[in-house]
Amino acid sequence: MKAARFASKARAGLKSAARRIPSEHWRRTTLTPAPGGFDLALTLNSGQAFHWIPADGGFLGCIGQVPCLVRQLSDRIELFTRAAEGSAAIDAACAYFALDHDLNKIRSSFPSDPTIDAALEFSSGMRILRQPPWECLATFITSALKQVAHIAAISQTLRHRYGKRHVGPHGELFSYPAAETIAALSEAELRACALGFRAKNLLGAARAIAEGRLDLDELCKLPTDEAREALCGLPGVGPKIANCVLLFAYGRMEAIPIDVWIERILRRIYFRGMRNVTAQRLREFSTSYFGPFGGYLQQALFHHARTTRGALLK
DNA sequence: CTCCAGGTTCCGG
DNA sequence: CCGGAACATGGA
């Protein structure tokens, strides 16, 4: 099996593969996800995280403060972390990639209709990540009225200018700047990162966190509704972004972010031709119809609609 | 040039 | 509570 993989890489001409990664500093681990498979590229390109760099047959990036390279194997993933970081780095990766989520169980909880079936088929193997709360929150504050490519560009700029530099398997990698770091910047410095009107919001949120007015570590102890209310107290954070953070950082799989794409799907498929459908009504419907893992379904619908430019929406 | 992008906030019914 | 408008920036 290993020989077959090696031969396959050799045929593909990936001479760099793992061999250029100095084995005395970098530890290779293979990880097995819970049932349901794992599509790494799909997961990292589905609009949850925005900083992973395609390279060397996989993806380079930081999991919090842990630089790594991740590659897709047939039914598992291959992880390179700094040997000095030991098993803590591996634990961080398992949590980040949500390898404990049983996708079969999650999928079986969804209702079946043409829209949902198509989205699930299209998004097979996609996992909802468990991202570090602050970087998830900050990134989605900068996401308002921006395309995915722009969000990624802003994340990259902030990391390069103000994040911590880490030594990765193939050069330097940058973690997301801490709330305290951003709190010490000026609005003008943030606007210089192409943040536009979001600069004031990111700065205000960073200062709220840095001054201890909101403790992100405490939110995991709260019921989802209370955690959402707390997040919505931050500048630039409304129900949509709060739900993104609850879903993508805190593993609240019942949280359903309703963005422009999900709203189109709801209005054109499930409320077709109906008048006076309020945002409140959309929230109630999606919560009850999608079920307790609705956030997962939402992400499949979002990814399908966005990448097909709403093909199913007429 | 116009339109739109993983929204939130503020304002008048 | 609800609909509208303003808010920056860049790609299609």
What value does the mean pLDDT take over residues A51-65? 97
| Residue A206, number of CB atoms within 10 A of its CB | 26
Reply yes or no on whether the pLDDT at A268 is more than 60: yes
Q: Cα–Cα distance between A2 and A282 in angstroms, integer? A: 50
pLDDT of residue A11: 32
The pLDDT score that the predictor gives to residue A5 is: 31
Q: What is the pLDDT of residue A39?
A: 98
pLDDT of residue A23: 79
pLDDT higher than threshold 60 for residue A9: no
- Sorting pLDDT into bands at 50, 70 and 90, what band is A1? very low
**pLDDT higher than threshold 60 for residue A191:** yes
- Is the separation of the CB atoms in A69 and A50 below 8 Å? no
Q: Is the CB of A266 under 7 A from strand B?
A: no
Cα(A312)–Cα(A169) distance, rounded to whole angstroms? 41
Distance in Å from C6's C1' to A72's CA comes to 45
Q: Which nucleotide is nearest to A243 (CA to C1')?
A: B6
Taking every pair of C-alpha atoms in chain A, what is the biggest distance, in angstroms?
65
Q: Which residue is nearest to nucleotide B9 (CA to C1')?
A: A236
pLDDT at position A19 is 53
User: Residue A4 — pLDDT band, cuts 50, 70, 90?
Assistant: very low
- Degrees (nearest 5) of the Cα angle A125, A131, A134? 155
Read off the pLDDT of each residue in A158-176 and give the average, rounded to a whole number: 97
When the pLDDT of each residue in chain A is averaged and rounded to a whole number, the result is 93
Give chain B positions with protein CB within 7 A.
4-9
User: Å from A282 (CA) to B1 (C1')?
Assistant: 35
Any strand B atom closer than 7 Å to A242 CB:
yes
- Asked if strand B comes closer than 7 Å to A175 Cβ, the answer is no
Give the mean model confidence (pLDDT) for residues A123-140: 98
Burial (CB count within 10 angstroms: exposed 0-12, middle 13-18, buried 19+), residue A80: buried
Average pLDDT over residues A174-181: 98
pLDDT beyond 70 at A309: yes
Does A283 contact strand C, using a CB cutoff of 7 Å? no
Residues 153-192 of A with CB under 7 A from strand C: 191
Of A244, A236, A253, A258, nearest in space to A305 by CA: A258
What is the model's pLDDT at position A6? 31
Q: Which residue type sits at A88?
A: A
CA of A3 to C1' of B7 (A): 51
Average pLDDT in the A138-152 region?
98
DSSP A31: E
In tens, the pLDDT along A79-105 reads 999 999 999 999 999 999 999 999 999
Q: Identify the sign of the CA torsion A290, A294, A297, A298.
A: positive
For the CA of A197 and the C1' of B7, the distance in angstroms is: 12
Q: Which residue is nearest to nucleotide C7 (CA to C1')?
A: A197
Q: Tell me what percent of the residues of chain A surpass a pLDDT of 90.
A: 91
Q: Cβ of A194 < 7 Å from strand B?
A: no
Angle ∠(A41,A102,A51) on CA atoms, nearest 5: 30
Note the pTM of the prediction, 2 decimals: 0.94
pLDDT tens-digit series, residues A14-56: 444 555 788 789 999 999 999 999 999 999 999 999 999 999 9
How are the residues of chain A apportioned to helix, strand and coil, as percentages rounded to the nearest 5? 50, 10, 40
State the nucleotide closest to A278 in CA–C1' terms.
C2
Residue A27 DSSP SS3: strand
Say how far apart CA A182 and CA A163 lie, in whole Å. 9
